[in-house]
């Protein structure tokens, strides 16, 4: 598993794709947070990173599929998939290795945003006037959300040879899992199940962790979604054997 992880991570870091996608992500986020007045922390006037945690899930919806789209799709297209799966490795090792490499990249994208925390910390009227607990909770939530999106992205990539299709499917699934269930629950005919539906979506659990309360139910939810998508990925890869 570590072998695949290392190979995948180097493949990301040796190609421009990773730097450009992460760079664009950070650029857009910085513009939204500090320059564009509607979402700017400075205009808002409160020492809070709320806009960061509100905006990032939507940016992740594009960033993470962009990172993960190549992972299996490219191997299938280039034929190296045959080389990879005839190694003495289990399918799980391959799936996990690729997943962890994508996750590492999500972490790389997230780390530089700590600068925003430091900035807001310094800018507070009384130094450090910021709810650090909520920020830590939100970061954990954001990381778990990224971990879910990465699992969805890896799954989408395993479905097809075409990276663009993998990208599109991943964006749709991420969006749907994130806020689709919330929206569905507002349908009049589904009102009876609105509690269940809302709980199926990532947003509800993300909000809950963002409040700074690390509830095991939310943790279990995030881990289940990851396990679910990685298991389907493994099944899809085994599909050549049907």
Cα distance between residue 132 and residue 117, in whole Å: 9
Does 240 engage in binding with another protein (CB under 8 A)? Answer: yes
Query: Using the rule CB under 8 A, which residue among 25, 72, 81, 181 binds another protein?
Result: 81
Residue 16 binding another protein, by CB under 8 A? no
> Site for another protein (CB under 8 A): how many residues?
22
Q: Is 187 exposed, middle or buried (0-12, 13-18, 19+ CB in 10 A)?
A: exposed
Collapse the DSSP code of 162 into the 3-class scheme (helix H, G, I; strand E, B; otherwise coil) and give the result. coil
Residue 122 engages another protein in binding (rule: CB under 8 A)? no
Work out whether 20 is an interface residue with another protein (CB under 8 A): no
- 48: alpha, beta or left? (left if phi > 0; alpha if psi -120 to 50): beta
Quick one: which of 20, 43, 82, 122 contacts another protein (CB under 8 A)? 82
Among 80, 122, 224, 235, binds another protein (CB under 8 A): 80
Which residue, 124 or 238, has its beta carbon nearer to another protein? 238
Query: What is the smallest separation between the CB atom of 14 and another protein, expressed in angstroms?
Result: 6
Q: Nearer Cβ to another protein, position 86 or 125?
A: 86
Q: Which residue in 96, 77, 82, 89 sits closest to 8, CA to CA?
A: 96
Q: Binding to another protein (CB under 8 A): which residues in 90-119?
A: 90
In the chain, what are the helix, strand and coil shares in percent, each to the nearest 5?
85, 0, 15
The rounded distance, in Å, linking the Cα atoms of 15 and 220 is 35
Q: Which of 27, 35, 87, 124: binder of another protein (CB under 8 A)?
A: 87
Q: Which two tokens stand for residue 141?
A: 């939530």
């Amino acid at each position: 598993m570590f072998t695949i992880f290392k190979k995948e991570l180097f493949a990301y870091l040796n190609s421009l794709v990773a730097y450009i996608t992460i760079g664009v992500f950070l650029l857009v986020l910085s513009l939204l947070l500090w320059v564009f007045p509607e979402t700017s922390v400075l205009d808002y006037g409160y020492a809070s990173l709320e806009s960061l945690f509100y905006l990032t899930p939507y940016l992740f919806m594009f960033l993470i599929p962009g990172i993960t789209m190549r992972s299996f799709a490219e191997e299938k297209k280039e034929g190296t998939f045959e080389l990879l799966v005839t190694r003495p490795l289990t399918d799980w090792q391959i799936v996990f290795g690729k997943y962890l490499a994508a996750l590492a990249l999500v972490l790389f994208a997230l780390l530089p945003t700590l600068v925003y925390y430091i900035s807001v910390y310094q800018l507070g009227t009384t130094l450090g006037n910021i709810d650090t607990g909520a920020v830590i909770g939100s970061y954990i939530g954001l990381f778990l959300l990224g971990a879910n999106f990465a699992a969805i992205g890896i799954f989408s990539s395993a479905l097809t040879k075409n990276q663009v299709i993998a990208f599109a499917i991943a964006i749709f699934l991420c969006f749907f899992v994130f806020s689709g269930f919330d929206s569905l629950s507002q349908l009049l005919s589904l009102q009876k199940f609105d509690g269940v539906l809302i709980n199926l979506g990532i947003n509800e659990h993300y909000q809950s962790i963002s409040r700074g309360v690390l509830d095991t139910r939310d943790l279990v939810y995030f881990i289940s979604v990851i396990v679910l998508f990685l298991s389907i990925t493994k099944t899809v890869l085994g599909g050549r054997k049907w």
